[in-house]
Amino acid sequence: MTGSRRVTAVRTAGGLSLRLDVRAVLVGLLLLALALAAGIALIGSGDYPMTPGEVLAALTGGGNPGQEFIVHDLRLPRVLVGLLVGAAFGISGAVFQTVSRNPLGSPDVLGFAQGSSVGALVVIVYLHGEPFAVAAGAVVGGVATGVAIFLLAWKRGIQGYRFVLVGIGANAMLYALVLYLLTKANIVEATRATTWMTGTLNGRDWDQVGPLTAVCAVLIPLLLLYGRPLRMLEMGDDAAFALGVRVDRLRVIVLLAAVLLVASGTAAAGPISFVALTAPQLARRLTRSPGPNLLPSALMGAVLLVAADFASQRLFGADQLPVGVLTGVLGGGYLLWLLAVERKAGRI
């Protein structure tokens, strides 16, 4: 026992010894159960409500044809996109906050979401692209923004507050560019762009599920492999280097993976605000464990996004309020609270 945390040593068949944080494992299992429960509840909500039993029956092939059509063709893709986007945002937020060693180091605060918005708007306004082209534009815009912020913030390494300040400045400039692009759009393009920029899971289908699943299946395990070096990085560059971590190489790999996850999630559902900011913080408070808490952050992000989408449907009616509006309101309040805490602690 260490304080309120219980750590257990586990020896594998190959003779390797692993440290297992029991509380973190239990929190992870709880978040996984909550994500699945929220997903089932979301599938059962809408103009044609279904009980959890009916949802499970339809998922396993035991429902009537109408229920199976509603579940498999209309609602399941929406839930899967919500879970994947939430997980992508959550784990990306944990990476950014760890690398910057700053709780404000979130993709939506640092301008990555705005970069994706610029890329998508260029495709909508000037190229009149279809949804796939818009998604590709969002990915390109997000990655280009990530590379630019990384290069501008680099000065013999990445210092946390410089990284945050460069990102906030980029966010302001990109937001101005978004407004300029909206002035160049006609009424149809402006409506389409505004709907996308709000962030919504409405109308998601299997076309978004496939590419997003592939990206998450590759990049999330990759980031999990770097969990231990990232934990060492929180102790500072010199300490991490002394422990054998190739600091610069680590930053490039994890930031590139995180940027690709953010850009892919934004391409699938739009720039949904504050999930990447709040999920890692809430996960760390629940696990009470040091380090980036990558897997709990991913699970927390999935829970937050699907639960917010479910709440928006139950409170305001099916598809009446985009989930990005609700997460923006709740996340904005959380950001104000976090700023007050950081100021009280003398860190800003």
pLDDT tens for the chain, residues 1 to 348? 444 455 555 555 544 445 667 788 888 899 999 999 999 988 888 778 888 888 888 888 877 888 888 888 888 999 999 999 999 999 999 998 888 777 777 887 788 888 888 998 898 888 887 888 888 888 898 889 888 888 887 776 666 667 778 888 888 898 899 888 888 888 888 887 887 788 888 878 888 898 899 999 999 999 999 888 888 877 776 777 777 777 778 888 888 899 899 888 888 888 888 888 888 988 888 888 777 888 999 999 999 999 988 888 877 766 677 888 888 777 777 777 777 776 776 655
The answer to whether residues 255 and 99 touch, using CB atoms and an 8 Å cutoff, is yes
Domain 82-344 has CATH 2.60.120.890: no
Residue 34: what pLDDT?
A: 92
DSSP annotation of 62: -
The answer to whether residues 114 and 181 touch, using CB atoms and an 8 Å cutoff, is no
Residue 272: what pLDDT?
A: 86
**Distance linking the first and last C-alpha atoms of the chain:** 34
Angle at 257 between CA 253 and CA 260, to 5 degrees: 140
The answer to whether residues 160 and 102 touch, using CB atoms and an 8 Å cutoff, is yes
Under 8 Å CB-to-CB from 132, ≥6 apart: which residues?
207
Residue 344: what pLDDT?
A: 74
Residue 217: what pLDDT?
A: 94
Confidence (pTM)? 0.85
Residue 85: what pLDDT?
A: 94
- Give the number of other Cβ atoms within 10 Å of residue 135's Cβ: 25
Under 8 Å CB-to-CB from 339, ≥6 apart: which residues?
104, 348
Residue 1: what pLDDT?
A: 41
